[in-house]
Amino acid sequence: MTTEQAVTPLGVRLLHAQAALLDRDADRAATAFRQLIAQAPGLPQARFGLASAMAAAGHPDEAAKAMDAGRILLAAEMVRGADFDLGRCQSEPAYAIQVADRFYTAAMPAIAATLYGLAVAAGPVPMSVLLKYGLTLHHQGRPEEALAIFRIAADNTDDPPTAEFLLPAHFPAANGVERQAVEARRWADRFATGRPEPVFANPPADGRRLRIGYVAPSFVNNQARQFLTPLLDNHDREAVEVFLYPQAEEIGPWDAPVVMRPIGELPDQEAAALIRGDGIDVLVDVWGHNAGGRLPVFAYRPAPVQVSWLNYMQTTGVRAMDYTLHSDTVDQPGMQDLFCEKIWRMGVTSAPFRPDRPPSMAPTPQARNGYPTFGSFSHPSKVTPVTIALWSSILRRVPKAQLVLKYRYYLDPVLQVATGAQFAAHGIDPLRIHFQGHSVGDDYAVEFDRIDLMLDPTPAPGGTTTMEALAHGVPVLTLAGETYYSRIGVELLAGAGLPELVAASAADYVETAVEVTADTGRLQALRERVAPGFAAAPYRDEKTMVRRFEASFIEMFRIWSREQPAANSRGEPVFCGVGS
């Protein structure tokens, strides 16, 4: 709110309505915001306030309508403020798309989504625009709306990568694990079946080096780098040969030699033939259904043993994928039923990790601030309604606490206000929520020194972001959820010797956050344990971890070798579907 609004009669009424909301008097707040809307229908703050009041009163449909109206009105203000012609956006879809692209490029997905929505509503648009519309919804944490758009795209394409956008978007959605498993099977039925089963001539593993291949868009320019580099550095070149299949030629930081085979320009069948020609024994996909992945290549079975790992821990649905690697800590009843692949247990952790820099030894900021600062550097899509309810419970219990949300999309003023409105529905003043955009290097590192306790979202927790926080010496609180995916943080925190930061329930999560930050001395003592605990974690023992990988791959290949006569006579692999 501007100062001018605050001193006008309209501004005073807005302040009173917001005060009722923060007092958790939803009915009084709703009445006040409706009166404001009647007086000033173009005021975005009144729409967002009504959305908060309706959510607090238990009327989600009305809350959603008011939230949409607030987004549209505020986005319109931003478009006009950037000197674009709002009238042309409403009447010319091509112009709306052009302006939307500008805002999306500027990391403002909420504004861009409003403009893409105008174009989509006007009639047919190119598939690329439909996908961008879905992505801009996803980047705001609007999973069901994004899924609806990606469903339209998937049902109207014969292109596997286009249809794949539907799959990762399930992760933060309600029942997302189960729904993704069904959709992965459907995707594979369309795009990754019916290939002839090749006959391999790979000799037994004894007395020779095993040939291991890894497939990813890049091995140096994405979030998987810190997990892949220690693996590639520490492979025993006397025991294995390493082949990399990226999109394009890369120069990596690895100390040991690798064979680089770019496949980005090759069709799937030709890429599979190239890999098969290299005589690969075990082929590992590290990207899954994320953009840039090459899962259709695996449908041609270019290697006798095929494994899914790392950047996609859900099932691929691909019949020709034999195994998926997981730690013991994510195990849950019925987990195997959700996978087409056989789950291969890797022990207490499933991947090594190498930080980019040593941890900071800065004291916990509560010592100088006098109040705790909670933080989350996760993608906004992971900040689900369940997560916001949990974090709001913490903020109510710790009245002076602040919360920092950091991600490049939080530059978007519409996303900021909409997120604040979701907290306001729980009685939390949006002024306690602080937004930060993207930063790198020293600027990124220093932001960790300003956080007392990182809060892991649920049911889509952090992976790399949790590792980054621990690597910088910041404690992280995670919730051991009810699905394997929601338990990612267990191995990371327990491995760092911080099991008390693994909450067993929502109530435990809130209570732990309150107790940990109640005493600055205790909080400082906890912070001092993070760096040594992280350094001693199993995922920091690179050589031991990589030996475990090699032993697993060798055993997988030996299993295949023992089954070779039966495998070569049965043709199409036995289908392993969801629930089978």
Q: What is the pLDDT of residues 379-423, one digit of tens each?
A: 999 999 999 999 999 999 999 999 999 999 999 999 999 999 999
Start-to-end CA distance of the chain, whole Å, equals: 56
Answer yes or no: do 230 and 283 share one domain: yes
DSSP assignment of 428-445: --GGGEEEE----HHHHH
DSSP assigned state of 145? H
Q: How crowded is residue 359: how many other Cβ atoms within 10 Å of its Cβ? A: 18
Separation between Cα atoms, residue 65 and residue 86, nearest integer Å: 22
Does one domain contain both 400 and 305?
Answer: no
Report the pLDDT averaged over residues 519-530: 98
Tell me, rounded to whole angstroms, the distance of Cα 189 from its chain centroid: 25
- Same domain for 348 and 375, yes or no, is no
Residue 578 has pLDDT above 90, yes or no: no
Question: Is 338 in the same domain as 447?
Answer: no
**Spatial distance between the Cα atoms of 404 and 402, rounded to a whole number of angstroms:** 7
- Residue 403 domain-assigned (yes or no): yes
Inform me whether the pLDDT recorded for 4 exceeds 80.
no
**Closest to 36 in 3D by CA, of 26, 50, 25, 24:** 50
> In the structure, what pLDDT confidence band is assigned to residue 576 with cuts at 50, 70 and 90?
very low
- Evaluate whether 158 touches 398 at the Cβ level (below 8 Å): no
Q: What pLDDT, in 10s, does the model give residues 307-353?
A: 999 999 999 999 999 999 999 999 999 999 999 999 999 999 999 99
The tokens describing 224, both together, are 């998987």
In a domain, 373, yes or no: yes
Together in a domain, 534 and 555: no
Residues 403 and 535 in one domain: yes
Please report, for the domain that includes residue 428, its CATH number.
Answer: 3.40.50.2000
Cβ–Cβ under 8 Å, residues 427 and 458: no
Domain with 426, as residue range(s), is: 366-539
122 in a structural domain: no
State the total domains in the chain. Answer: 2
Inside any domain, residue 164 = no
Query: Which three-class secondary structure state does DSSP give residue 317?
Result: coil
Residue 315 lies in a domain: yes
Looking at residue 326, its amino acid is: H
The domain spanning residue 256 has which CATH number? 3.40.50.11380
Closest CA to 376 of 472, 477, 523, 471: 477
d(CA 386, CA 375): 16
Q: Does residue 87 lie in a domain region? A: no
Q: What is the mean pLDDT of residues 370-377?
A: 98
In the chain, the percentage of residues whose pLDDT exceeds 70 is 96
Is 117 within a domain? no
- pLDDT value of residue 570: 37
Residue corresponding to tokens 């805002």: 103
Nearest to 534 by CA among 410, 396, 352: 352
Nearest to 432 by CA among 455, 399, 456: 399
What is the DSSP secondary structure assignment for residue 284, as one 8-state letter?
A: E
Supply the pLDDT for residue 571.
37
The answer to whether residues 408 and 521 belong to one domain is yes
| Phi and psi, residue 282, nearest 5° | -130, 120
Q: Do 288 and 432 fall into the same domain?
A: no
Structure tokens that stand for 443 in this block: 């600027």
Q: What pTM was estimated for this model as a whole?
A: 0.95
Do 519 and 391 have their domain in common? yes
Query: Does residue 397 share a domain with residue 533?
Result: yes
Residue 567 has pLDDT above 70, yes or no: no
Same domain, 480 and 374: yes
Q: Which residue's entry shows tokens 């040939």?
A: 211
Residue 7 binned pLDDT confidence (cut-offs 50, 70, 90): low
Q: Are 44 and 12 in contact (CB under 8 A)?
A: no
Contact between 70 and 424 (Cβ < 8 Å)? no
Residue burial 371-406, b: 16+ Cβ < 10 Å; e: rest: ebbbbbbbbbbbbbbbbbebbbbbbeebeebbbbbb
CA angle centred on 157, ends 216 and 132, rounded to 5°: 70
- Is the residue at 382 inside a domain? yes
580 pLDDT more than 50: no
What's the mean pLDDT in 93-107? 98
pLDDT, mean of residues 471-487: 97
Q: How confident is the model at residue 197 (pLDDT cuts 50, 70, 90)?
A: confident
- Give the residue from 328, 344, 317, 288 showing the smallest Cα distance to 580: 317
Output the pLDDT for position 440.
95
Q: In this structure, which amino acid lies at residue 239?
A: A
Looking at the fold, whether 215 and 317 belong to one and the same domain comes out as: yes
**pLDDT digit string, tens, across residues 51-64:** 999 999 999 999 99
